[in-house]
């Protein structure tokens, strides 16, 4: 018997289909524990053109970062060390929690997804973004996000 399911895709002005939901991306990993590992994020593995790369580090464990959504920016979050717990929420109040603790795994965040992040103190996070920084792209008010 066939099970029904639905896949929702958004179209952008560029006619590129993107997922409206966050999802994990696994990057290739080469090496072994005796010598270490290398993971590579090449453009063919990234669902958008990378326009900005930035990182966070030494975030105290009692600090929650994020607490915003982006109007158009897409991102991939990667915990290159430590552990980061990311909670996402779409405008239908559907929440998901992701634990990032492997350097060969990233979390894709589409536009219009509220997200918060909790870190172990020695975590380092690298973020790949589809746009350069623009404060107008941020939705920092939670009620405005729900009503946007």
Compute the distance between CA of residue 61 and CA of residue 82 in angstroms, rounded to an integer.
11
Compute the distance between CA of residue 57 and CA of residue 42 in angstroms, rounded to an integer.
23
Q: Is 121 a catalytic residue?
A: no
Residue 83, both tokens: 């552990």
Residue 145 main-chain phi, psi, to 5 deg: -60, -50
Please identify which of the residues 26, 68, 70, 115 carries the catalytic annotation.
Answer: 68
- The full DSSP string for 12-66 is -TT--EE-SS-EEEEPEEEEETTTEEEEE--GGGSSS---EEEEEE---TT-EEE
Residue 40, both tokens: 């590579």
Q: Catalytic site residues?
A: 68
């Amino acid at each position: 018997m066939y099970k029904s399911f639905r896949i929702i895709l958004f179209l952008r002005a560029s006619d590129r289909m993107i997922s409206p939901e966050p999802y994990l991306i696994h990057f290739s990993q080469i090496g072994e524990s005796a010598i270490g590992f290398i993971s590579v994020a090449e453009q063919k593995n990234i669902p958008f053109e990378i326009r900005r790369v930035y990182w966070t580090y030494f975030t105290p464990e009692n600090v929650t970062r994020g607490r915003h959504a982006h109007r158009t920016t897409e991102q991939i979050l990667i915990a290159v060390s430590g552990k980061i717990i990311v909670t996402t929420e779409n405008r239908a109040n559907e929440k998901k929690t992701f634990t990032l603790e492997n350097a060969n795994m990233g979390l894709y965040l589409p536009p219009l997804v509220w997200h918060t992040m909790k870190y172990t103190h020695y975590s380092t996070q690298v973020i790949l973004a589809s746009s350069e920084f623009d404060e107008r792209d941020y939705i920092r008010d939670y009620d405005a996000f729900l009503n946007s």
